[in-house]
Amino acid sequence: MKIQYLNTDLILKSPNDLTPIVNAFAHNVIVLHNDKRSGYYYTVFESIDENLRHPNSVITHFAQLVDSLNPDERRLWNECYSKTFDIGYEGGTAHQSYTDEIRADTLVSAAHIGAGIAVTVYPMCKDFLEIIEMQSAS
């Protein structure tokens, strides 16, 4: 199986409750987490738009949502001490490289809203790997 793009999460860490931002984004995203952890607020969003199938389009979409925040919500956004787009890929089993470009305009959009970019490569699901091993053994 080839390496493949899975999704892009927006992860926020803040000294403040981020529920107003959660409410502002409500119709455009899935909220995976919105809770308090060890003295800080932790919120994770994922896009629900099926047309956004690449990190460039997801990041641009989130940047537009941030730009549409009202002044109080934007103040909360600006006070987050961590704003990260985490781009997720499934590792695959193919013995070939994989390249995925994050365009310059996407980087500018992320920088404009003060967000960084991380990449996470997830291992293949254990059950899937066991199926592949059984098929290759027979």
Number of domains in the chain: 1
Q: At what angle do helices 55-67 and 104-112 cross, to 10 degrees?
A: 30
Per DSSP bridges, beta strands 116-122 and 82-90 are parallel
To the nearest whole number, what is the mean pLDDT of the chain?
89
Angle at 34 between CA 64 and CA 122, to 5 degrees: 80
pLDDT, tens only, 54-111: 999 999 999 999 999 999 999 999 999 999 999 999 887 777 888 899 999 999 999 9
Q: Tell me if 64 sits within 8 A of 24, measured CB to CB.
A: no
Q: Tell me if 4 sits within 8 A of 27, measured CB to CB.
A: no
Structural domain span for residue 36 = 4-137
For the entire predicted model, the pTM comes to 0.86
| Secondary structure tally for the chain: helices H, strands E | 5, 5
